[in-house]
């Protein structure tokens, strides 16, 4: 039986990066929400948001520390809210190198 192999381009690491998330919610209303990442890797992040998005929705993510902005899509969403927030796995679309500004090994 084949074993599962993580297909991520880089390892996920815990990191709190302040971000602004913009997009259109599940009711197609424009949303702008401040949050912070929980985990990051070169291609995305895990973020908790009060706004409800659907899978594959397009988002715009701004790193508040660097003011860099990148397009993203919702790749995963939790099935329930925890303390009034949804957990989202986001995939960055054509991110610049080290968008999150995290230390490199």
What are the angstrom distances between the C-alpha of 32 and each of 8, 22, 43, 62, 78?
A: 28, 4, 22, 11, 20
Does a structural domain hold residue 2? no
91, HSE (Cβ side, Cα atoms, 13 Å)? 11
- Residue range(s) defining the domain that contains residue 19: 13-93
pLDDT tens string for the chain (105 positions)?
A: 444 445 556 888 999 999 999 999 999 999 999 999 999 999 999 999 999 999 999 999 999 999 999 999 999 999 999 999 999 999 999 999 999 998 765
Structural domain count, the chain: 1
Do 45 and 90 contact (CB within 8 A), yes or no? yes
Does a structural domain hold residue 31? yes
Q: What is the CATH number of the domain that holds 79?
A: 2.40.10.220
Does a structural domain hold residue 7? no
pTM of the model: 0.88
pLDDT reported for residue 61:
98
């Amino acid at each position: 039986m084949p074993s599962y192999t993580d297909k991520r381009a880089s390892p996920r690491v815990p990191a709190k990066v302040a971000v602004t998330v913009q997009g259109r919610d599940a009711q197609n209303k424009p949303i702008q929400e401040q949050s912070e990442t929980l985990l990051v890797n070169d291609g995305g992040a895990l973020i908790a948001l009060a706004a409800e998005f659907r899978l594959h929705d397009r988002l715009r993510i701004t790193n508040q520390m660097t003011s860099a902005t990148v397009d993203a899509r919702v790749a995963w969403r939790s099935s329930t809210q925890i303390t009034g927030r949804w957990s989202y796995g986001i995939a960055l679309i054509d991110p610049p190198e080290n968008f999150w500004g995290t230390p490199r090994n």
